[in-house]
Structure 1
Amino acid sequence: MATLRQQALAMVQARQRVSVTAPSFKISDYFGTNVFGPAQMKQSLAPSVYKKVMEAIDKGSKIDPATAEEIASAVKIWAISKGVTHYTHWFQPLTGSTAEKHDSFFDMYAGMEKFKGSALVQQEPDASSFPNGGIRSTFEARGYTAWDPSSPIFIFEKTLCIPTIFVSYTGEALDYKTPLLKSMEAISNAAVEICQLFDRNVRKVNPSLGVEQEYFVVDKALYNARPDLVMSGRSVYGHTPARGQQLEDHYFGSIPTRVKDFMMDFEIEAHKLGIPVSTRHNEVAPGQFEVAPIFEEINKAIDHNQLLMDVMDKVADKHGLKVLFHEKPFAGVNGSGKHNNWSLITDTGVNLFQPSNSARENLQFLAFLVGTVKAVHDHADLLRASIASASNDFRLGANEAPPAIMSTFLGATLTELLDELEKNGNVKIEKGDNMYMKLGISKIPEIILDNTDRNRTSPFAFTGNKFEFRAVGSSANCGGPMTTLNVIVADVLKTMAKDIEKEMSAGKEKKIAIVNVLRKYIKESKKIRFEGDGYSEEWEKEAAKRGLSNLKSTPEALDVYAKKATKELFERHNVLNAIEVHARHEIMLEEFIKKVQIESRVMGDLALNHIIPTAILYQNKVIQNANGLKGLGLDHSAAVDTIKELSKHIESLKSDVTAMTEARKKLNKEDDVVKRAKGYQKEVKEAYFDKIRYAVDKLELLVDDESWPLVKYREMLFIR
């Protein structure tokens, strides 16, 4: 292994830059060239067909078989003209990654390329081989993928990719996209009810999303020399280098040359796919970076994020690099998130989280702001569960990541405004008085600019015209958290509309009715608002006093999916039925178990087959040296101390790895998946991971550098 490490380091030093040339100096010349989008449709489809497609995209109407045939024909001609030979239904099963099965256009019996409308609209992949939480039995394998016209067809690596949903043959959702699309409809319906109190012209509200993707980049040779990175995505061992991020000199610093070449390359490919990436920079930790797009409709934004990660991974290979999307690939430095910047946009072009010069619009703004805060308050545990994973647990509450305690940050200005509204909002309004001035609502436009400072420790912060859900993990499919967010906000908005109607039915003037309901909601959700340092011990104590949950582990967080109220919530909005909620609970628990199991086995393998043998060989050298010094009558006490310390860590390592293995064997006999997951958390992860790592990291400091088998942190994070 030590030889492998040295070979990997030599390969890094020999790397040459990969030249990158854009197709044009202007991105606009090639943006979306690999996308069968509205412009391409308008050019290649008959006007009547184009109209039907756009109606399907805008209104969710179905595409009839004849129209599907015409679209398929146009898509085939376009794809073949670009050298495409195969097509696939591109979907997002509950694995967290995308899936595809390629079929050829070529029909051997017809002797020509064919692509039918039926193949465009629907395919039948095996459903039992994907996570299904017991929805499908292995012998009942059938499932369906069905075209989602709202997300554009694209070409990736000479394959025509058709974004689709994925369901069982009995209709249960087996993917992230199906419930997301339903949640978009749910929040649109709920938001329109509130909007129409202010503007009767609003007919639809679209959730908008911008995904800031953080990631690490390491040389591929170094990656391949670390079995733990290859097998689990994170380094289970590795002593913190003398220099990490403490000098605060990495954030927004000069981008390393090889990484910049890689960034330029994947941005070109992303732009061809219509992915609107616009920002790149160094992140806080050495070796960490970020890419961010401009905002899009939420469904398209999530598709693009999933596709972008695939593009980045494949382009990195060309540059001799490896992208790490794990939330915590390196201990002791910044973890990686996927900051979800979420807002609501009406079909009249109004951002419902954007303060305005209009007092009426500002009251509407406050209605949606307060409704969202109330949703986070009422469903904090569900929101926490939506971002729960074995990998994200390593990140939450450490090094620039928000804590597991759900809270919202609004900033001093809005906090003061809501406090004032709660305290004085229900004052008697005399005829002719300006209610908005009394409430201070009209002052929002003048002072809102002072309110956009982001609290980096808040998991859910208001940032001027949107909410930033910072707790989502960097490897996650945003469809899960965003479906949950859409549903919980929709639920509160529905209740808000009923409460306002009740006030108006009691004779209250509409504006007063709205303010009365907002005052009530502000008071009820006040404890979820926090403006301070989420990393502090004081906040944990304060949160406990407020009665806020602090669900630090995934199995604990996922308990909320077993609650009747959770199933009723998703069913109420026709997003997931009780069977689907139960299935997702089981799938997430199983995923947690498998990931902890894999890491545990990797830790054991590295310790027993690489670390301990290396440490023993080095210990024997030290013993020989000590004996030599002793024979010469020289002081050998330092060598004896080293021998003792090596022995201590070697013995503890053997003992703990053996005990961890036995704990794992015992838990594998447990049939109850909830008990098994909680057992893996307590009896494997919490009981042994840190202890075993401590011993190995101490041995890394004791064993001489030339002998150490694993590539070190300083080599992975700083070598370019």
Structure 2
Amino acid sequence: MKRLPEMFGSNVFNDEVMRERLPKDIYKALKKTMEKGTHLEVDVANVVANAMKDWAVEKGVTHYTHWFQPMTGVTAQKNESFITPTGNGKVIMEFAGKELVKGEPDASSFPSGGLRATFEARGYTAWDPSSYAFIKDNVLCIPTAFCSYSGDALDKKTPLLRSMEALNKQALRILRLFGNEDAKRVISTVGPEQEYFLIDKSVYEKRPDLIYTGRTLFGAKPPKGQEMEDHYFGKIKPRVAAYMQELDEELWKLGVLAKTKHNEVAPAQHELAPIFTTANIAADHNQLTMELMKNVASRHDMVCLLHEKPFAGINGSGKHINWSISTDTGINLLDPGITPSQNAQFLLILVAVIKALDDYQELLRVSAASAGNDHRLGASEAPPAIISIFLGEELTAILDAIETGKCYQDKEKDFMEIGASVLPHFQKDSTDRNRTSPFAFTGNRFEFRMLGSNFSISGPNIVLNTIVAEIFSQFADVLEKSNDFQEDLNKLIQSTIKNHKRIIFNGNGYEDEWTKEAERRGLANLKTTVDALPSFVSDKSIELFTKHHVFTESEIHSRYEILLENYYKTVQIEALTLIDMIKKGVIDSVLSFQGELVDVWTKKKSLDLEVSKDMEEKMISSISSLSSKLSQYLEDLEKSVQNAKSYSDALETAEYFKDVVIPNMIKLRDVVDELESLIPSKYWNYPTYGELLNSVQ
């Protein structure tokens, strides 16, 4: 293996490669485009494209692609070779600036939410120079935005870049109020922690529900799950360790800052966490991470599960987004400093985030909404569906003092006293970490913990960037007109705390009492995806996104339709898969076992001896009773899926699946799980939870 510094970024056309291969004037022009968002001239694009092609060809690459992120939640690409005919039966390798800058993939089969008719097939991909090109699967991948012929965004990258521009514009207004003229750009930075499960491929292939839906649709609880809490941070199994090592190496080659890896709470569950980077690059890297997790697992005869809740009764998988704001001069605007109570700029930015979450809590909830995540949120393993902010004791005490006009005395930093002199003496953090909070301040950033493991991180970052940009805009409008900046600044911070402190909660978000308290505070509790999604198309939402040019009104409505459609299609596929598995496997298991019980009972009876038949009779009675329920509930589910076809409106269809189909699936599952617990393994046609969760050794 190469030394890590030599390996890192070896498959990326990064700054070091560009500096080496591009003429100085071209390099400067490209860097200006990357850092300031200026237009890239055609002659510059031609030189960059040729250098990019030469670099890739030297590494054995023959094709390039515009790599983009449509509304499917995964990435897409159309591969093109570099070959150009010469007219004498030969070819040369060429790559022009126009091919680098623009592509024309067929857009007809990607989700559009009504933005265009199916027959309107033309779409465009446009190079995103702020994200480095890279080589994956022996193809030169050029990160791009994706839009329709009319210019509507059909992807996740375009609105993310727009939201970053909105945040930059408004944040600079705030910095200028404090005399900061050095910063020329403000960026959102993100570090997404990625949870996942690994199971053996042989057992995966025997579970159609995992293949078609990513989660188990039934499965009795195993004798041992996560009760002993011995898997968390435990010794990593050899096969998993080998997988993690190869995954790290593949990610490092692509410039992904994979940093931390460990076992998670549930059996067979693990986590990978990278170092933070710019939001749009972090989004690209996280998509690559999820793709590589699956590909590398396959090479190790394993399957990586990224569903939010693959197994009932044990922890699901989330994706925690560590979000912050930094300047191009390297200053983290969410760093409170040594004396946060005296750091007016930090306090203004902090209360802006608080107000943003309070004013737009429904939108942040929408950003974590999906059929899969509905199984996870609020299940004592993930935050509830209620948005709140954890600040910790110190920052809460500072805000309380400001609100009441009292003087706050900054505390001296405490040192840990562990009770053994041989142990190190180190400084204690000013606040604990609240793992039950959906949005927790963790020193110099916020950790948004509601997201499901298979989500694109673009959605929540679009929302966070935009809502904070809006509050920055409101604050700047007030303070830029001020005749007494210090006095008006103090009043603004004080009034914001008073009006929006309801969103601050430092307690246990898993407790039922918090749900009641949140209701008393007037906080939204949008328990399901269907409850949450209408907030996305509210007048308030449309005004926000259109004001900051993040979405057009038509783009908002299109995404709303796509999200609703994705919800009910997901549930429909799950219901059909459950029906299929019961008909083709469960019923056979039940009848086979019933047949043996009856056979044993019949033989005992034929002996005409005083032999007890109680066990067989009880088992026959139990299985028969459950079989009757199985038949009835299966029929109920089939009818409900069939009846769903009568609905044409997307919201009504989604509501029907939520209120009728899902409850029917739950009833049916309960019966199947009980049958599984009674029927011997030699008759049960599917791998059990115990076999699935312990399949990798």
1:449 touches 1:464 (CA, 8 Å); kept in 2?
no
Matches within 5 A, 1:133-172: 133-172=113-152
Q: What's the secondary structure of 1:163's corresponding residue?
A: strand
Say yes or no: does 1:85 pair with 2:66. no
2:210 match: 229
1:456 match: 435
1:121 touches 1:147 (CA, 8 Å); kept in 2?
yes
Give the counterpart of 1:571 among 524, 527, 546.
546
1:705 match: 681
Give the counterpart of 2:526 among 543, 546, 551.
551
2:423 match: none
Offset, 1:224? 0.8
Distance 1:375 1:189 in 2: 16
Q: What's the secondary structure of 1:165's corresponding residue?
A: strand
Which one-letter code corresponds to 2:31 in the other structure? Answer: M
CA separation of 1:380 and 1:359: change in aligned 2, threshold 3 A: closer
Say yes or no: does 1:513 pair with 2:494. no
Offset, 1:665? 1.6
2:654 match: 677
1:603 match: 578
Distance 2:171 2:185 in 1: 8
Give the counterpart of 2:107 among 127, 136, 145.
127
Q: What's the secondary structure of 1:620's corresponding residue?
A: helix
Say yes or no: does 1:493 pair with 2:469. no
1:127 touches 1:136 (CA, 8 Å); kept in 2?
no
After TM superposition, the score normalised by the length of structure 1 is 0.92
The more displaced of 234-243 and 492-501 is 492-501
1:589 match: 564
Distance 1:501 1:164 in 2: 37
CA separation of 1:446 and 1:374: change in aligned 2, threshold 3 A: farther
2:216 touches 2:311 (CA, 8 Å); kept in 1?
yes
Give the counterpart of 1:244 among 225, 228, 235.
225
Which one-letter code corresponds to 1:246 in the other structure? Answer: E
Say yes or no: does 1:421 pair with 2:398. no
1:85 touches 1:159 (CA, 8 Å); kept in 2?
yes
Give the counterpart of 2:505 among 530, 540, 553.
530
Distance 2:628 2:576 in 1: 18
1:362 touches 1:444 (CA, 8 Å); kept in 2?
no
* Number of aligned positions between the proteins: 679
Distance 1:118 1:661 in 2: 53
Offset, 1:122? 0.4
Offset, 1:444? 8.5
Distance 2:290 2:451 in 1: 15
2:147 touches 2:154 (CA, 8 Å); kept in 1?
yes
2:5 match: 28
1:400 touches 1:456 (CA, 8 Å); kept in 2?
no
1:666 match: 643
1:66-108 per-residue CA deviation (whole Å, 9 max, x = no partner) reads 1111011101110000000111000000000000010111124
1:386 touches 1:481 (CA, 8 Å); kept in 2?
yes
Structure 2 unaligned blocks of 5 or more: 416-426
Q: What's the secondary structure of 2:230's corresponding residue?
A: coil
Offset, 1:197? 2.1
Give the counterpart of 2:671 among 695, 698, 702.
695
Say yes or no: does 1:324 pair with 2:286. no
1:212 touches 1:338 (CA, 8 Å); kept in 2?
yes
2:113 touches 2:561 (CA, 8 Å); kept in 1?
yes
Offset, 1:611? 0.3
Offset, 1:380? 0.6
2:620 match: 643
Distance 2:605 2:494 in 1: 82
1:335 touches 1:398 (CA, 8 Å); kept in 2?
no
1:326 touches 1:336 (CA, 8 Å); kept in 2?
yes
Distance 2:479 2:47 in 1: 48
Say yes or no: does 1:114 pair with 2:91. no
1:217 touches 1:322 (CA, 8 Å); kept in 2?
yes
1:640-678 per-residue CA deviation (whole Å, 9 max, x = no partner) reads 111111112222122112111211221222111110111
Using the aligned pairs only, state the percent identity.
Answer: 45
Distance 1:501 1:46 in 2: 43
1:281-325 per-residue CA deviation (whole Å, 9 max, x = no partner) reads 000101000001101011111100101111111111110011000
Offset, 1:689? 2.0
1:185 match: 165
Matches within 5 A, 1:158-307: 158-198=138-178, 199-307=180-288
Distance 1:446 1:623 in 2: 72
1:472 match: 451
Distance 1:703 1:559 in 2: 45
Offset, 1:635? 1.4
1:187 touches 1:490 (CA, 8 Å); kept in 2?
yes
2:258 touches 2:274 (CA, 8 Å); kept in 1?
yes
After TM superposition, the score normalised by the length of structure 2 is 0.95
Give the counterpart of 1:49 among 26, 42, 48.
26
1:255 touches 1:281 (CA, 8 Å); kept in 2?
yes
Distance 2:7 2:505 in 1: 45
Matches within 5 A, 1:329-344: 329-344=310-325
1:379 match: 360
Offset, 1:500? 2.8
Q: What's the secondary structure of 1:209's corresponding residue?
A: strand
CA separation of 1:516 and 1:99: change in aligned 2, threshold 3 A: same
The more displaced of 613-622 and 348-357 is 348-357
1:36 touches 1:153 (CA, 8 Å); kept in 2?
yes
1:100 match: 77
2:591 match: 616
Q: What's the secondary structure of 1:668's corresponding residue?
A: helix
1:608 touches 1:654 (CA, 8 Å); kept in 2?
no
Q: What's the secondary structure of 2:64's corresponding residue?
A: strand
Which one-letter code corresponds to 1:35 in the other structure? Answer: V
Q: What's the secondary structure of 2:227's corresponding residue?
A: coil
1:341-379 per-residue CA deviation (whole Å, 9 max, x = no partner) reads 000001221111112136697221111111111111111
Q: What's the secondary structure of 2:220's corresponding residue?
A: coil
Offset, 1:449? 5.1
Distance 2:75 2:381 in 1: 29
Give the counterpart of 2:333 among 332, 352, 360.
352
Offset, 1:109? 4.9
Offset, 1:266? 0.9
Distance 1:416 1:77 in 2: 59
Distance 1:539 1:51 in 2: 54
2:340 touches 2:346 (CA, 8 Å); kept in 1?
no
2:168 touches 2:185 (CA, 8 Å); kept in 1?
yes
Offset, 1:550? 1.1
Report the RMSD for the aligned CA atoms in angstroms: 1.5
Offset, 1:214? 0.3
Distance 2:264 2:340 in 1: 39
Offset, 1:572? 0.5
Offset, 1:398? 1.2
Distance 2:414 2:611 in 1: 79
Distance 2:651 2:321 in 1: 29
Which one-letter code corresponds to 2:612 in the other structure? Answer: D
1:180 touches 1:483 (CA, 8 Å); kept in 2?
yes
Q: What's the secondary structure of 1:576's corresponding residue?
A: coil
Q: What's the secondary structure of 1:517's corresponding residue?
A: helix
